[in-house]
Amino acid sequence: MPFEKVTTSTGKSKTVAVQKRLLFGNLSDPWAVFLRVHFWAKQLREGRVQTRSEVARREGITRARVSQLWPLCRITRERAEQALMASMRREISLRSLIKFAQSVDVKLVVSGLGNTARG
């Protein structure tokens, strides 16, 4: 765990653990996260990053968070539009978008198409 020295309000120096930053600042738009995850997948395919751990280090977030968001890279534009239609034009949350991505994968595997049908 990385540490850094900070100065307290009384002028004393102390060492504190560095906190991981929030995902891309205080991002509330799930579609922006969706696009960011697709960018990560593209970097991985093109070899600009080697692992998801490297993505996490570059973004300043945990590996667990990258893994939580990773199913979003399986959603195609058409599937994203389906999710938007399923939400009936209401605000769609990041959590529901991730669940949608996971449920699409489950339906494909159950229908016998296996891993080859994943986007």
The pLDDT score that the predictor gives to residue 70 is 92
Low-confidence stretches of the chain (pLDDT beneath 50): 1, 22, 25-26, 106-119
Give residue 85's domain range: 22-117
Q: Is residue 6 part of a domain?
A: no
Q: Is residue 78 part of a domain?
A: yes
| pTM of the model as a whole | 0.61
Number of domains in the chain: 1
Q: Is residue 60 part of a domain?
A: yes
The pLDDT score that the predictor gives to residue 88 is 66
Q: What letter represents residue 17's amino acid?
A: A
Q: Is residue 30 part of a domain?
A: yes
What is the rounded CA–CA span in Å between residue 113 and residue 101? 16
Q: Is residue 52 part of a domain?
A: yes
Beta 13-17 vs 3-7: how paired, if at all?
Answer: antiparallel
Q: Is residue 1 part of a domain?
A: no
Q: 50-80: buried (b, 16+ CB within 10 Å) or exposed (e) per residue?
A: eebebbbeebebeeeebeebbbbbbbeeeeb
The pLDDT score that the predictor gives to residue 77 is 77
Q: Judge whether 104 and 97 are in contact, CB under 8 Å.
A: no
Q: Is residue 3 part of a domain?
A: no
Q: Is residue 63 part of a domain?
A: yes
